[in-house]
Amino acid sequence: MAKPGVEKPPDRKRWPKQLAVVDQAGCTGCEVCLEFCPVDCIDIVPGESDPDVGKVVEIDLMECVGCTLCAVYCPWETIDMLPAAEALEMAPHYTQRTRVYADKPYPVMEPA
């Protein structure tokens, strides 16, 4: 049973041990990671300063299976694999969730 204040993640019975977190500060929008993701959970999104330039990516952590391929092949080494609970907590600090996933905030999860 979940502790008070800790929500059970919706729509996901089992979480991978680790999830991919993009630090958008280092993302060039090269789209290499999109090519490798086996579950197509990486989206190219508008840049913060200008919607038409400086595009970056967001990873939907509700879909990520933790395969590490995006982190391995990112030429700019701006994707980190973190333990699932930590990733859910840290991702909003590194990845803005104000655009494509604004209506789907991350759940809170107890560390394993």
- CB of 1 or CB of 49, closer to ligand SF4: 49
Distance CA 13, CA 102 (A): 22
Cβ at position 44, least distance to ligand SF4 in Å = 7
Give the CA angle between residues 95, 96, 100 to the nearest 5°.
110
Cβ at position 2, least distance to ligand SF4 in Å = 24
- CB of 7 or CB of 77, closer to ligand SF4: 77
Q: Which residues bind ligand SF4 (CB under 6 A)?
A: 20, 22, 27-33, 36-39, 41-42, 57, 59, 64-70, 74, 76, 78-79
Hunting for tokens 């973190």 — which residue is that? Answer: 82
Distance CA 61, CA 12 (A): 11
- CB of 31 or CB of 48, closer to ligand SF4: 31
Distance CA 38, CA 67 (A): 8
